[in-house]
A and B are shown apart, each in its own frame.
Chain A
Amino acid sequence: MNSPLVEIKDLSLKYGDYTALQSINASFFPGKCVVICGPSGSGKSSLLRCVNKLEEFDKGDVIFNGESLKKTKNISQIRSNIGMVFQHFELYPHLSVLSNITLAPIQVKGLSKTEANENAMKLLKRVGIDDQANKYPAELSGGQQQRAAISRALALEPKLMLFDEPTSALDPEMISEVLKVMRDLADNGMSMLVVTHEMGFARDVADEVVFMDEGKIIERSSSKSFFEKPRSERAKEFINKVLLKI
């Protein structure tokens, strides 16, 4: 078995008195798409943000590609290998779509403007919005904005992609266009950690499902067995709720 891309070791996180994560241990392997799900407030997003240290954890460590996030002197370098997509897109409103995507490759990786532009146009074509390159984020629909945000994350050629509820802020008809892009990424072997309520995506695309509740990992299994034979009561309840919407 190859070595894990991400190793989470005894990770704990508190916001004041509130415990968001309690001694999490987990490993994620390259080329896999893992969906993290669970009720709101269960710590899914917090866990995801610890993976690129956007959240300062109190205890434990995250090892990315063999490097400790706790000990590293160059967190920016590590982050540039991890793409992240946010619920509310978080495109830079003062920059064009193209500049949104080329900014980090130019500033962080030192690419020339021409080279960065070429790469960005390829990515925009891949997600189907190359005709929007010179517009500002506010001129795009939600689905287009999220696809632009995915392109921005991909522009650094990351080893891992983190998705933090990428479709939760979208109108229903736009969800599928974003999911299609994500499915395409997974099919091409991108390592992905996806926090989502899209159970269809979890079932059809994900290799594994991690179910969280109250800051702990309750259950982790292949997506097939998670949906067919959930082991814990809480997971059963959750699946019923989200699938049957009762």
Chain B
Amino acid sequence: MDFNVIIDNFPFLMKGLLTSFQLAFLTIFLSLSLACLIAVGRISNKKYVRYPSAIFVNLLRSNPLILIVFWFFFLVPLITGTPLPAFGSVLIAFVVFFSAYFAEIVRSGIQSVGNMQIKAAQSTGLTYPQTMRLIILPQALRNMLPALVTECVIVFQGTTIAYIIGMREFLHSTSLVAERTIRPIELYLFAALVYLIICFTGTRIATLLEKKE
């Protein structure tokens, strides 16, 4: 075992980790924003809002992430005629995919707040959008925080999927170094350690948040 390969290739590996982080953070930020809209749509009493939201969520949740990534990388350019850059296409696929999962978390969070808070807010003359933004979502967010953090960990692990279309995220960078230096054991151990630290930290945070309630 020679762990010097890691030190020698540290900047290259960290660049890959940074890409993974960028992908994860952008995915979380964008898909969570989208998820709030979809979740509100899911519980709307207007059928023309509720049905499309439900179809979107169920369609995406019934497909593997890798297929969605393929769709945006291989098939969308065929339709539009212009290829998307790897990062852009993966990001879109991730946002679309994870927004469906986040939407379900947000929906159950909203429903955990209870109908009477909506009625109370509306009785003071707040409109439905104001009620959602000022009263329901802040409370829902608090209730769903543990589930959200857990999902963020899953998003981070999911960034490895970008490997298959050649994006140099952390796992891909690790594997490139492993092939070049013929030191797969050291490198994949290192990769496992990095994912363990990040994801275990996330899971611990989720557990602590759960206990706090």
Contact = CB atoms under 8 A, between A and B. Distances in A.
Is B a genuine binding partner of A?
Answer: yes
Interface of A: 49, 52, 54, 76-77, 79-84, 86, 88, 90-94, 103-104, 107-108, 152-153, 156, 162
B125 to A, nearest CB: 3
B124 A86 contact: no
Interface string B110-146: 0000001101111111110010001100110010000
B123 A107 contact: no
B120 A93 contact: no
A93 B143 CA distance: 12
Interface in B94-124: 116-117, 119-124
Of B117, B124, B127, B142, chain A has the most CB atoms within 10 Å of the CB of B124
Interface of B: 116-117, 119-127, 130, 134-135, 138-139, 142
Given A103-B124, A108-B124, 19 more contacts: A49-B119, A52-B123, A76-B126, A79-B122, A82-B123, A83-B123, A84-B123, A90-B116, A92-B117, A92-B120, A92-B135, A94-B142, A104-B124, A107-B130, A107-B134, A153-B123, A153-B124, A156-B125, A162-B123
B139 A93 contact: yes
A84 B120 contact: yes
Main secondary structure of the interface of B (DSSP, over half): helix
Contacts, number: 59
Contact of A76 (B117, B125, B134, B142): B125
Given A107-B130, A107-B134, A86 B125 contact: no
B116 A88 contact: yes
A72 to B, nearest CB: 13
4 pairs of A and B residues whose beta carbons are closest in the complex = A80-B125, A90-B120, A104-B124, A84-B123
B139 to A, nearest CB: 5
Nearest to B139: A94
Nearest to B130: A107
Nearest to B116: A90
Contact of A79 (B125, B134, B138, B142): B125
Contacts of B138: 94
11 contacts: A54-B123, A79-B124, A80-B124, A84-B123, A86-B116, A90-B116, A92-B117, A92-B121, A103-B124, A108-B124, A162-B123
A104 B116 contact: no
Contacts of B124: 79-80, 83-84, 103-104, 108, 152-153, 156
